[in-house]
Chains A and B, each alone.
Chain A
């Protein structure tokens, strides 16, 4: 029985009709996780809890009236706090941290009946674009040998692509859902900032972080977002706005849809094959009756420098609580308080995290604050205006997710700037707080290509509709990497 290639939608039908039980499903996926452990996509596999949850789900399914996602396995990026389970955030610092509470997203998906199989690998504290900064070693891209799955939600993308789980949670601060989704050929949705609660999601850059679903299809993303989204009184920045039904409009026609293509997305930085792949995908939309309009984002080139001031500034403060006093890594035999701080943090954090803490601390220092932090905030406003202006004349904006397909392990670790530049198409969207998706749109040298679809604030339903229609006429999203069929 090949259950592992099924979508959430299909699994839901199978469970609700009693074709198979949640326990069968859970065991089948746990087996695959075991079988493909070399992918290193999981940090923790919570077998016992998963089986217990599956039993409960089966009881609910038997009783009838179980919610749609009841009994379906999934896994969380290890950035979401899960009660009683190690929540490491990919760092040595939290290698011993057992969260005493659940993130709201975890509670929400539990309430929807989903069965968590464990915690997924990620770049340390979500800082990275390749999963290589993880304390637990990189996860691998199932599509090609020695290739990164992207990051920071690399474990989530690799596990869904390899069909070790049908869906995962991810978080996206500068592209951390979309880029790994693109690299691994799956569907990833970064919702509007504030749509999904950040409570219990370990903060990297609070004004940019946003959790979202990573699935095989847009249809599945709609189901999962439905369970994840909503106002949370525990998160002051979560939006007090009703959650629409994301599945209702998936089949709306795209006749006369206005698609904006920012000319800055297609300049010299973009790999030729990538440009061709994106054009091909856009042409598919033309066939469906969409209208293509060129738009301009004059401030786009400032997105990376602005991001690398704002995100490190926020993270420098967010990570100060990791001080070896109350939880997390503590050095052996500290001589005094300063020694406790210096060695606990020195030993607990990896290089990339330290780099960003230093950058952020510098950017906020007296005398530099105006030149860096305030200026970056001004740029952020200009970039936001670029997008809101463009979205006045078009329904969605499209472009690549990444300048190239997935790169090799170790290829960019020597040069952090080069690594940062790879996030050029995703970072600006976080600065603007807009929702955006990555969907599979072909291959270059057998490596997946992602098409990015960006929408207006709270227009997730529109994005899902646009993505779903593409997946009705293409089958890129149904491809399974060789060796994982």
Chain B
């Protein structure tokens, strides 16, 4: 039988506020355990939550970016369950009135564009962390993360393959960083997802029974987990069995999924509106403000790069995928005097290559757009060749000198003086009479030999156009 895979994602994006969603404690990552948990985060008797208004603004921003319905008023609810790293015995989340309603996002798979529905996005607090190692049979609790703001983004079951699921996840990842509402750091758990998967016979309209894979924090694992789970379900169905609705864990080491709890064992979370928090009303002023602050989104930026700079689709896509990268590129275009294509190449090839090698992001680049622009200016005004520029770039990478200083101190200035070039060429012609004869007898390829020798003799500094011109004259057949 032909099976169709149906996938829906629940993505948890940590919002990049300075303080927690319901307390004034810091959200910074990596502090010593329990040093960033105040009385409210600890769930001490008598404490009360106070909403960090910044998260509302961020959620509205996200909602607008996916053209979603923004709720007029939104309600926080208590999700009740016992767990040692859940201090209050309930998580403050949202149930009936999420802040963001139905929206959508377009993804590209191959050369196809597909629209994925977003059911809702709601605000909630993160739990703490249970530490099972190094406590000799006991469990340690770190509540630094408790109360960190999360935006849970729930998709429609609109994806039909692992590829689509990953494309959607990447797109959301790119978007939250674009909007500057999340740092998207997956190693630190700022961006993770639950995957709902079911199979159905091709052509059937009802959905099959689904399994939910919990808490996956990399694109690669999402893809692998889906492959593995699809195979598992297919095997069961083809043997005439049926799928149990359950929560499963993906074990990346063993590349398998295994059951955590079935529907019967599932918690009854007993959601009810949190009486400690008032409903949030989203005013038209806030909407207008957020709308005005909304940056140009990746899709629009890509289109503009295609039209305005005539970039290739791939380059436009790549540059527009990250806001700081796009900003860097545009800064170069404006100030370097080079063509958009040259700028694009420098950012996508030289700079990105160097950054990748060191595992750095564009915001951590040791060469600012301003410094690189000066280097490109020197290509544009013929001070150096593109080839020499790469040398200068390497030098700039390891110290803070400007391009001009490096060109000056290393004597890399291009030789444009035709007298000096002529002298070099005369010597090369005199020393290589055999090659001259070959050329004159019709072997065009030998011309390259003379160019190479000239560049070598000038240590790459001779202006290539000038070299060509003079050689052509001297070796006239």
Q: Please give the residue numbers on chain A whose beta carbons come within 8 Å of chain B beta carbons, in ascending order.
A: 80-81, 87, 89, 94, 97, 99-101, 103, 198-203, 205-207, 233-237, 313-314, 316-317, 319-323, 325-328, 337, 341, 361, 364-366, 369, 373
Contact = CB atoms under 8 A, between A and B. Distances in A.
B270 interface: yes
Given A97-B45, A199-B47, A364-B270, A236 B82 contact: no
A373 B272 contact: yes
B46 A99 contact: yes
Contact of A103 (B46, B78, B84, B268): B46
Contacts of A313: 272
B278 A327 contact: no
Interface in B82-96: 82, 84, 87-90
A328 B44 CA distance: 10
A327 B82 CA distance: 15
A317 B89 contact: yes
Q: Is the interface of B mostly helix, strand, loop or mixed?
A: loop
Contact of B268 (A101, A199, A206, A365): A365
A202 to B, nearest CB: 4
B251 interface: no
Interface string B331-354: 000000000000000000000000
B48 A199 contact: yes
Contact of B270 (A207, A321, A361): A361
Give chain A's interface secondary structure class: loop
B275 A236 contact: no
A81 B272 contact: no
Interface in B214-233: none
Between B45, B78, B268, B271, the greatest number of chain A beta carbons within 10 A of the residue's beta carbon is seen for B45
Contacts of B278: 236-237
B205 to A, nearest CB: 28
B360 interface: no
Contact of B39 (A89, A100, A205, A337): A100
Interface in B17-59: 39, 42-51
A103 B277 CA distance: 18
Tell which of A233, A319, A323 has the most Cβ of chain B within 10 Å: A323
Contacts of A237: 48, 275-278
Nearest 9 interchain pairs by C-beta: A320-B89, A207-B275, A364-B270, A206-B275, A200-B46, A321-B43, A202-B45, A81-B46, A202-B46
A206 B43 contact: no
A368 to B, nearest CB: 10
Given A206-B275, A313-B272, A236 B48 contact: yes
B416 interface: no
Q: Which of B84, B88, B271, B275 has the most CB of A within 10 A?
A: B275
A328 B87 CA distance: 13
B89 A321 contact: yes
19 contacts: A89-B45, A99-B44, A99-B45, A101-B39, A201-B46, A202-B46, A203-B45, A236-B50, A236-B278, A313-B272, A317-B80, A319-B89, A320-B80, A321-B44, A326-B44, A327-B45, A361-B270, A364-B272, A365-B270
Nearest to A325: B84
A317 B48 contact: no
A373 B47 CA distance: 24
A321 B46 contact: no
B388 to A, nearest CB: 62
Given A87-B45, A235-B48, A323 B89 contact: yes
A234 B90 contact: no
Nearest to A89: B45
Contacts of A205: 275
B141 interface: yes
A87 B39 CA distance: 15
A94 B82 CA distance: 19
A370 to B, nearest CB: 11
B275 A321 contact: no
Contact of B44 (A198, A319, A327): A327
A234 B45 contact: no
Given A206-B276, A237-B48, A365-B268, 13 more contacts: A100-B39, A199-B48, A206-B275, A207-B275, A237-B276, A313-B272, A316-B80, A320-B80, A320-B90, A321-B88, A323-B82, A325-B84, A328-B45
Given A317-B89, A321-B88, A325-B141, A369 B48 contact: no
B12 to A, nearest CB: 23
Nearest to A314: B275
A270 B47 CA distance: 39
A320 B390 CA distance: 64
Contacts of B271: 364
Contacts of A369: 270, 272
Given A325-B84, A326-B43, A341-B82, A317 B50 contact: no
Contacts of B141: 325-326
Contacts of A202: 45-46
Interface in B348-369: none
A327 to B, nearest CB: 7
Nearest to B43: A321
A89 B44 CA distance: 13
Interface in B441-469: none
A236 B276 contact: yes
A220 B367 CA distance: 71
A316 B90 CA distance: 10
A316 B88 CA distance: 11
A200 to B, nearest CB: 4
A331 B42 CA distance: 20
Interface string B127-150: 000000000000001000000000
A206 B268 CA distance: 22
A100 B38 CA distance: 11
A105 to B, nearest CB: 10
Contacts of A207: 275
With a 10 A CB-CB cut-off, give which of B50, B87, B89, B268 has the most chain A CB atoms: B89
Nearest to A87: B45
B24 to A, nearest CB: 10
Contacts of A366: 268, 270
A4 B34 CA distance: 47
A326 B141 CA distance: 9
A205 B42 CA distance: 20
Contacts of A198: 48
A316 to B, nearest CB: 8
